[in-house]
Amino acid sequence: MSRLALPYRSPAPSCVRADAWQLVLDGVTTDLPESLDFWDYRMDIELSRTVHVDLPAARAGAGLDAGAVLTVAAVWTASGSNLRGPVQRVPLTGDEVRTVNLHAVLPGAQLGGVLSLETVLVLSRSTGTGAPFAPRRAGSLLWDDAVSLRLQGDAPLFPMTVIDFAQTSFRDGAAWHLQLGSDLNAAAMGSMLLLVNERAEEVSTAFAHAARPGPVDRVVLSMVYSDCARIMMEHALLKEEFVDEAGFSEDSLGATLVSLFHRLFPGRTIQDLRQLRHNSPSLFASELQAATRILQEA
């Protein structure tokens, strides 16, 4: 629980017992991990959690009367999309220990980066006859906790969609196409899009199985990741403003490319890599393969 000093009374943390968040994948429930490898924007996140609230103790600790209505709520925030939304909101009445089962399926298209989950117990309604310094305003925080799930993992750092290339200007035989914006200062989420040809069944299937990839899926995902990393690095190196001393704003396309560069080539300089690509494109391609560990186990 947050230990910030509140301008009103609050109950002891022991009034709320919250079980660990659970992640549901293909019908199998497990404890929420620190990160989810191979997550992509087509994959929704199904979550559940059980929270037990001792209502008499919570009201007494906050100085509230027996008629006060409390609410358990949970909200999510995604750093990659800068979006947030509700998981569930459950009002609590009565004079007993209440058990609340929170459950939600979060749309993958709205997520990305680090998914933060905050669970709170708040005051919904008070009769105004509580003890001195008892909370009065609806929404007053009584208890909270937060956990996070990193969704980037080894997956591509961009949204994706599956389309029929025959209905576009792309060649029918291409399996995927990575679109990148030209402005490195623009928001990354609006500057990158991976298009997968639905006719390339091995590729679209691999992304559909990205949460639990099989042997063939892993090979395909590795090849897509390596190729996208190459495209992103070549795109960056063609930009004059992509230099070692550049200071791109957080969550911009430039910052994403700089982060990828340092992850793939720790200890190297951008100028060194640019020179390598200019002098020996074939060696540059080989170094990208090694840096992305193409066809190797993570």
Which structural domain, as residue segments, surrounds residue 187? 160-291
Alpha carbon 88 to chain centroid distance?
Answer: 18
In the predicted structure, residue 204 carries a pLDDT above the cut 50 = yes
Q: In what order do the strands lie in the sheet with 176-180?
A: 160-163, 192-197, 176-180
Q: For the chain, give the mean pLDDT.
A: 87
Task: Please indicate, yes or no, whether residues 174 and 145 belong to a single structural domain of this protein.
Answer: no
Which residues are registered as beta bridge partners of 37? none
Question: Has residue 4 been placed in a domain?
Answer: no
75-123 per-position pLDDT tens digit: 999 876 667 889 999 999 888 999 999 999 998 877 877 899 999 999 9
3 in any annotated domain:
no
Do 120 and 24 lie in a common domain? yes
Assess whether 17 and 127 both reside in one domain: yes
On whether both 26 and 79 belong to a single domain, the answer is yes
Assigned domain for 1 exists: no
Verify that 146 and 202 share a domain, yes or no: no
The model's confidence at residue 8, banded by pLDDT at 50, 70 and 90, is confident
pLDDT in tens, 214-237: 899 889 989 998 999 999 999 999
Same domain, 49 and 175: no
Q: Express each pLDDT in 162-202 by its tens digit.
A: 899 999 999 999 999 999 999 999 988 778 888 999 999 99
Last residue of a domain, one of 150, 176, 201: 150
- Mean pLDDT value of segment 65-80: 88
CA 59, chain centre distance (Å): 35
> What is the per-residue DSSP string for 108-176?
GGG--SEEEEEEEEEEEE--S-S-TT---STT-EEEEEEEEEE--TTS-SS-EEEE-GGGSSS-TT--E
Whether residues 140 and 234 share a domain: the answer is no
In a domain, 298, yes or no: no
What is the rounded CA–CA span in Å between residue 15 and residue 105? 28
Nearest to 276 by CA among 284, 268, 266: 284
Percentage of the chain modeled with pLDDT above 70 = 91
Residues 71 and 132 in one domain: yes
* 20 and 107 co-located in one domain: yes
Please indicate, yes or no, whether residues 146 and 164 belong to a single structural domain of this protein.
no
The answer to the question of residue 247 being in a domain is: yes
Specify the number of domains making up the chain: 2
Q: What is the pLDDT of residue 200?
A: 94
- From 105, 125, 150, give the residue that closes a domain: 150
Is residue 266 packed enough to be buried (19+ CB in 10 Å), middle (13-18) or exposed (0-12)? exposed
C-beta neighbour count of 253 within 10 angstroms: 27
Q: How confident is the model at residue 213 (pLDDT cuts 50, 70, 90)?
A: confident
Highest mean pLDDT among 125-129, 250-254, 260-264: 260-264
- CATH number of 104's domain: 2.60.40.3880
